[in-house]
Structure 1
């Protein structure tokens, strides 16, 4: 089973750097870059029936559809009912209420501060290894 990473962030530099770091850690990872939550949802819908493990790195503050709106729509679509789907929130926010709100969404495995380090990405990839 392959691993797919969906990077949902409005900053193209963050997406590019994250993708390059991912490929340096594991060149077999299939990365999709999404500039907002709307594009991210569309990408997830397209990938929901593939056999890959899907890891989503989700920013909070974005135009069009922010991270919270994305999570609410994702719950409505009931796409994340599989063990092969893991979602991590990535944010530059230092607001304590964002951390509290993130814990209210069971689909979020962990909240990471921006920028992601190589160690953060290794942790994410290793914790999503095939059994």
Structure 2
């Protein structure tokens, strides 16, 4: 069964590339795209039960990915129970991987660029 995915990343070019990859993977029934964490958080609060996978960038303006994860952890923990959240970042800093461990509900940390095969793994819960 195909899953729904939500991509949260402020880079519009990356979003266009990933949208093509999501389409080509054939693994997702629906995809939502957000360039701002605040909008994504609002969506997840209100319609999050419809989203099975979130691919979250950590370096964004206004509210970064870490702040979004803290907000979910503190005020919307049910989102973690119904949605598999993965960090997808260009960061290669070990400190970011260590920081990710502070959120045990995260399903993984994926280094950009993401690939079609990695999207398929995520959709099949193998990543």
TM-score (norm 2): 0.88
| CA pair 14-73 structure 1, distance change in 2 beyond 3 A | same
1:43 counterpart residue number? 43
Q: Is 2:15 aligned against 1:12?
A: no
Which residue of structure 2 lines up, in the alignment, with residue 22 of structure 1? 22
Structure 1 regions of 5+ residues with no counterpart?
none
Q: How many positions carry a matched residue from both structures?
A: 125
Alignment RMSD, CA only? 1.8
More helix by share: 2
Task: List per-residue Cα deviations over 1:32-77 (Å, max 9, x = no partner).
Answer: 1110211110121222344xx5100000100011000000001122
Distance 1:86 1:41, change over 3 A: same
Tell me which stretches of 4 or more aligned residues in structure 1 moved more than 3 Å. Answer: none
Question: TM-score when scaled to structure 1?
Answer: 0.86
1:81/1:87 Cα in 2 relative to 1: closer, same or farther (>3 Å)? closer
Label 1:73 to 1:111 Cα distance change in 2 as closer, same or farther (>3 A): same
Q: Is the 8 A contact 1:7 1:58 kept in 2?
A: yes
